[in-house]
Amino acid sequence: MFIGIKGLGVVGSAVGNISGSAYDSDAQAYIDAVESADGQALETDVKEAYNNFFVGLKDDGIFSDLTACCIMMGARTISGALTPLVSSMATPTNNNFVSGDYSRTQGLQGDGSTKYLDSNHLATADDTNDCHLAVYEPVLHPSPSTPAAVIGYQDIGGTFNNAFQLVYYFTGTFIIRCKDANTSYNSRGGTAGFSGLSRAGPSTFTLRYAGNNYVKTATSSTPPATSLYVLAQNHYGVGPQLPTNGKMSFYSVGASLNLATLESRVSTLVSEIGAALP
Amino acid sequence: MTLEDLIPDLPLSYAQGKTYGLVFAIDLKMRLDEIQQEHPPVNYATPVATTDGRYVLHGDLLSEVGPDGMFGGTFSYLDQSRFNEVEVIDWSAAQALLPVNIPI
């Protein structure tokens, strides 16, 4: 009897270990890093949501297309939320965000004046004609009375005369540039969620917004070796510009990819984090 | 009111801190930059230039200046004898001092 109980104990321990190591290795490394940054463990359901995201990206063949990425939800602290998806990715630098600006289900909220992240990811890190950026905004961005940048850099009129940006430009419109100088507008619907740009060639790029793809004609050019800012944009050689008071719970930058595929994975992650943290 | 007046209440609550803007001259901004270069923090306090040549930070940073706060380390290096040089004003008034960025 004693042996049997001991044996069951061993079995139980082994199952626990199997369960723990069943996570994708990159997901486990990310979970470990987030927990270290938070200073405490995550809930099992949050860890499973993270794991499902990693596994899903790999199943879709787009995991390696993300070269900078933060899941800004689920973690217990801003430090955890700013943990890069993979340790080789740049860790963003927090400028002026405080704990009260962070929600575990809705991410970081800017103040429209002083707060932004420096992604520490250079616009030159990804090929000019093989690039993407994407964000997830959990609530509809308030209609700005002045332009507000969601992510990117701009050097319009400067030496490089191009930009990689997503900017809300007054009510109902935003401006997008994908390493080009063209001013591409798109109307904004009343939809929160995923937005992204992806360029796979020199002549056009794709905008995804509110579940639809829009192809924009805009010739690319080599960007400056400057960092993309998040919840604002980096005015090359000047500094942060157009900080937003919107919320953001995910961003990624990297190679061109199928934005609808990434949106599906991010949306699932958002749903699972939301269910894990009611 | 100046930051010196708030010392007994620090750290402030997030809700209270959000109602304030902290406005100061360039020499204090440069001193803050020096401190953050000498003691690189994880979280940077990054003042924004105003249209009248001063700098502003959001007062909610004062919710994180305790020993365990996100800005506690940097705050510990500040010279409290100069806190009377930091003007504390309503956040809406501070925002009105910021430039309206037009280039996109």
Between these two residues, A146 and A177, which has the higher pLDDT value? A177
Helices A44-60/A259-276 angle, 10° precision? 170
Which pLDDT value is given to residue A17?
36
Residue with tokens 């204090």, as numbered in its chain: B28
- The pLDDT tens digits for A83-121 are 999 999 999 999 999 999 999 999 999 999 999 999 999
Contact A114 B71 (CB under 8 A): no
pLDDT (0 to 100) of residue B102? 63
**What pLDDT, on the 0 to 100 scale, is given for residue A13?**
31
Q: What is the pLDDT of residue A148?
A: 86
pLDDT at B16: 98
- Mean pLDDT along residues B78-101: 94
Question: Is-contact A248 A235, C-beta < 8 A?
Answer: no
Chain B residues 28-87 with CB within 8 Å of chain A: 42-48, 56-58, 60-61, 63-64, 70-71
> How does pLDDT run across A140-170, given as a tens digit for each residue?
876 666 788 999 999 999 999 999 999 987 7
Q: What is the arithmetic mean of pLDDT over B75-104?
A: 91
pLDDT of residue A183: 83
The residue in chain B having the minimum alpha-carbon distance to the alpha carbon of residue A239 is B48
Q: Evaluate if residue A23 carries a pLDDT over 90.
A: yes
Contacts of A146 in chain B (CB under 8 A): 100-101
Averaged over A202-216, what is the pLDDT?
95
- The reply to whether the predicted model has a pTM over 0.90 is yes
Q: Of A44-58, A137-151, B54-68, B73-87, which range is least confident?
A: A137-151
* ipTM of this complex prediction, to 2 decimal places: 0.97
Residues B23, B21: Cα–Cα separation, whole Å: 6
Distance in Å, alpha carbon of A3 to nearest chain B alpha carbon: 48
Calculate what percentage of chain A has a pLDDT beyond 70.
90
pLDDT of residue A1: 32
Question: How far does A70 lie from chain B, in Å, by closest CA?
Answer: 16
Average pLDDT over residues A194-211: 96
Give the residue with greater pLDDT, A21 vs B100. B100
Task: List residues of A whose CB lies inside 8 A of any B CB.
Answer: 78-79, 93-101, 111-115, 146-147, 154, 156-157, 165, 167, 169, 175, 235, 240-242
* Chain-chain contact of A79 with B46 (C-beta, under 8 angstroms): no
Cα dist from B94 to A101, B9, B19, B80, B97, whole Å: 19, 21, 10, 22, 5
B-chain residues within 8 Å CB-CB of A38? none
pLDDT at A69 over 50: yes
Task: Give the closest residue to A205 by CA, choosing from A127, A143, A153, A151.
Answer: A127
